[in-house]
A and B are shown apart, each in its own frame.
Chain A
Amino acid sequence: MSEGATVAELMVEKSSFDVAAPAAGTLRIAVPKDGTVRPGTVIGRIESG
């Protein structure tokens, strides 16, 4: 995955947010797809290399 790629979409009520990768690497997704998360939850990690 390259830096700047859209890696997630967050939705709050009727607002949606594209989340861009802050760095290149391998994405490890930490939460189930289409799930509900609380503010501050880690939803994924990018591992370099």
Chain B
Amino acid sequence: MAEAGPPRLLVETFETAAAGLRRQETLALELAAEGAPLLLAWRSPQALILGRADTRLPAYAAAAVRLPVEGWPLPLRRSGGTACPVSPGTLQLALARPAVAGLTMEAAYAELADLIGRLLAPWRLELEAGEVPLAFCAGRWDLSHAGRKLAGLSQHWARRAGLATVTTAASLIVAEEPALLARTAQRFYALAGPPAAARRRRSARCTSPSGAAAEAS
């Protein structure tokens, strides 16, 4: 697998999470000209970012009316996964790179996980990769400390401007109440159904780096 070099860092703030997601999608378009991976760190006002499967839930239409009224717009992301709440106290990361021959899903996930590990080094946490089943938007590439999720990773592979690309994204709780985020995801599934999905996501198994460090000390 060819080395793609270190990513160029972009830090941006958006007026909506939907705008942040659109910007995330444009990273892949810029790779051909850029010649190096791009790492976008972005924040936005609060929103509940959905995966495509969420829009097929039985009462999605009702939830799509109700949640925005309650202050949680429902933008849709291109990568996989389920509902992920974001707010000005969460940081979204997106690492776009050419999908060179031999690059695997696991290697692309590991690349962003390694970057997050270095970002969180000052907190001296013991990061583990693996699903935190009761966290919102649980997946095999959750990063956790002592069973509490700090970040969840997802991916979108696409050909853009003639180049095969992969964008791996993550959401990290920085200065936000994890229980608020968990309640919001739970509220969506309670409205959109099915009931089993809402029950599965009842517990708040997420935390921030400072929260995890405080618990560890």
Contact = CB atoms under 8 A, between A and B. Distances in A.
Q: Chain B: interface residue count, which band?
A: 20 to 34
B137 to A, nearest CB: 8
A14 B140 contact: yes
B105 A4 contact: no
Interface in A3-37: 4, 6, 9, 11-18, 20, 34
A interface, over-half SS? strand
Contacts of A34: 53, 56
Given A17-B157, A20-B159, A12 B56 contact: no
Given A11-B80, A34-B56, A16 B153 contact: no
Contacts of B188: none
B155 A18 contact: no
Interface of A: 4, 6, 9, 11-18, 20, 34
Interface of B: 51-53, 56, 78-81, 105, 139-141, 152-159
A14 to B, nearest CB: 4
Contact of B139 (A9, A14, A16, A18): A14
B136 to A, nearest CB: 13
Residue of A4, A6, A14, A34 with most chain B CB atoms under a 10 A cut-off: A14
A14 B159 contact: no
B159 A13 contact: no
Contacts of A15: 79-80, 105, 154-157
A14 B81 contact: yes
Nearest to B81: A14
22 contacts: A4-B159, A6-B158, A9-B52, A11-B80, A12-B80, A12-B105, A14-B51, A14-B79, A14-B81, A14-B154, A15-B79, A15-B80, A15-B105, A15-B155, A15-B157, A16-B79, A16-B154, A16-B156, A17-B157, A18-B159, A20-B159, A34-B56
A13 B81 CA distance: 7
Given A14-B141, A15-B155, 14 more contacts: A11-B53, A11-B80, A12-B105, A13-B80, A13-B140, A14-B51, A14-B79, A14-B152, A15-B105, A15-B154, A16-B154, A16-B157, A17-B157, A20-B159
Residue of B56, B105, B154, B157 with most chain A CB atoms under a 10 A cut-off: B157
